């Protein structure tokens, strides 16, 4: 279960440890939230490429 916490006007969630480990996410991983046509919220990893 994910809990929503309000801190200084910002809403934060904690991602379950098992999910983060399974996906290879770390504190430096960038994530974005996307809403699909049915209103479901998806969490997607943002891939940041190296500058050319």
Largest CA distance in the chain: 41
Pairing of strands 10-13, 4-7: antiparallel
Q: 2, 11 in Cβ contact below 8 A? A: no
pLDDT at 50 over 80: no
Question: What pLDDT, on a 0 to 100 scale, did the predictor assign at position 45?
Answer: 95
pTM value? 0.69
Question: What pLDDT, on a 0 to 100 scale, did the predictor assign at position 38?
Answer: 98
What does the pLDDT look like over 5-30, one tens digit per residue? 999 999 999 999 999 999 999 999 99
């Amino acid at each position: 279960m994910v809990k929503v916490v309000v801190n200084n006007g910002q809403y934060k969630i904690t991602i379950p440890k098992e999910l983060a480990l399974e996906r290879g996410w770390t504190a430096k991983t960038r994530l974005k939230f996307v809403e699909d046509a049915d209103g479901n919220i998806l969490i997607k990893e943002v891939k940041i490429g190296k500058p050319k």
